[in-house]
Every structure is written in C-alpha cells, then in structure tokens.
Amino acid sequence: MQLSDLRFLTSAPRVAQLPDDTGSEIVFAGRSNAGKSSAINQLFAQRGLAKVSKQPGRTQAFNVFAFDPSRRVVDLPGYGYAKVPDSVQRRWGQEIPAYFAERQSLAGVVLIMDVRHPFRESDNQFLALTARHPVVVVLSKADKLSKSQQNQRLGEAERHAVALGIDPESLLLFSAQTGQGREGLQSLIMEWLEFDQPNVEREAEE
Ligand code: GDP
C-alpha cells in the first residue's frame, strides 16, 4: 500500500451519507485558491485527483477518497467560495461543525494556507472547529518567496499559531511546485493513517 494508491470513492453532501465511521480518516481544508488541490495531487502523486472535487455538484460535499475500506482522505470544499445558493450554504454550515464534532475516525486535519496570507479570519473560524483534533498547517506556495522571506513568514505564522493555542511545531512550509515539505507531510499522513513506514520498526510477529 502506498500513497499513490488513493482513489476517488464518493461525494457525500451530508455527514449521514459518509462511509462508515471506522478505521482512520484525514481531512484536507483551506480557503479557495490556497493550493489545496495542487497539494493533494502532489502528495498522492497523481495528476487531477482533486479535480474530481471541483466538478459541479461536488462543490459543497465531503469528497471522499480511499486507499482501502479503513483508510480514507476527505477533501472539503474551499471556504470563501460564495457561488452556491443560500440554502446549500446554510446546510453546509451545519454539516461541517457536525463532522468535526462527531467523526470518530478523524485522525488528523491538513489545513492549507497560502504562505503569503495565512491565518485569515475564515482560517481562524475553521480552526475553532478542529480544536479537538491533531492539525498540521501547511504554508503553501513557498516557492513564491525567497528563503529569507519564507523564514520571516514562518516566524510570523508561528506567533499567530501560538496566539490561537496551536503548537507552532505543527506549521510547515510547502510547495507543490518544487516538492518542498512533501516528505515531512507524507510521513505525517502515513502515521495518521497507520501505514507501515519503512523506517518504523514493525511489531514483532506473533
Ligand atoms: P485550491 O483552490 O486550494 O484547490 O487551489 P489550487 O491547487 O487550484 O491552486 C490555486 C492556484 O495556485 C493555481 O493557479 C495553482 O497553480 C497555484 N498553486 C498551487 N500551489 C502552488 C505552489 O506550490 N506554487 C505555486 N507557485 N503556485 C501554486
């Protein structure tokens, strides 16, 4: 089993329509245009995987991908995207908090932010929902900045994180274009989804 084995499973408009709440699941979120689809495609070594989530009708839904029945990746619609009817927006405004309150299999949250515009109000509102769960804040499009600018932005973002009660160690610089940050994030995802990792000692066979 490897990260490139991820396949689209289903689009669920409501929590009640999600696959059974067993095994482990991680969720990707972020403001529209933060670089979420690019990150997903890069992390799982597939072109166009997250394009599925952008198809009409799948925009305000939990887009579920799976490795096997007990390991899933959920792609949430980018927030700040207003081109949906009010009734759909209202429903979604109830489903998202319900998901984070109820989902037992949720093992980790990958929150994508553009490194140049992190911790916007909508990000902070989102983070308030995920307080019970492990979170990694992925500062994307790092290639758009020089190394010294990256470090400056990272330092600022770490201070924001601390102010919000988030461990500053959970921030990482990332670029879907250069692959910066990819391995660290992949290894965290594999840990959350309980993959065997080559450098992790396997339990002794019985
Ligand atoms: P989403 O709306 O969050 O899924 O964002 P996308 O992945 O569609 O990316 C939005 C825009 O940012 C696109 O034009 C991407 O090509 C660009 N983009 C995404 N990630 C990166 C990155 O790491 N580096 C650069 N330079 N551009 C990126």
Task: Return the pLDDT at 122.
Answer: 93
- Report the distance separating Cα 55 and Cα 20, nearest Å: 24
Confirm if 144 and 116 have CB atoms less than 8 A apart.
Answer: yes
Tokens of 205: 């066979």
Dihedral of CA 175/8/187/27: which sign? positive
Strands 135-140 and 106-114 come out as parallel
- Report the distance separating Cα 51 and Cα 70, nearest Å: 23
**What residue owns the CA closest to ligand 1's atom 9?**
35
- Report the distance separating Cα 23 and Cα 32, nearest Å: 29
Residue type, 202: R
| Residues within a 6 A CB radius of ligand 1 | 30, 32-38, 78, 140-141, 143-144, 175-177
Element (H, E) at 73: strand 71-75
Where do the H-state alpha helices sit in 77-181? 86-102, 121-129, 147-163
Q: How does pLDDT run across 21-41, given as a tens digit for each residue?
A: 999 999 999 999 999 999 999
Dihedral of CA 65/67/69/74: which sign? negative
With cut-offs at 50, 70 and 90, classify the pLDDT of residue 97.
Answer: very high
Ligand 1 atom closest to the CA of 140, numbered from 1? 23
Please tell me the least confidently modeled range out of 64-73, 76-85, 89-98, 158-167: 76-85
Mean pLDDT of 101-113: 98
With cut-offs at 50, 70 and 90, classify the pLDDT of residue 206.
Answer: very low
Task: Return the pLDDT at 81.
Answer: 64
Ligand 1 atom closest to the CA of 31, numbered from 1? 3
pTM as predicted: 0.93
DSSP state at residue 79: B
With cut-offs at 50, 70 and 90, classify the pLDDT of residue 87.
Answer: confident
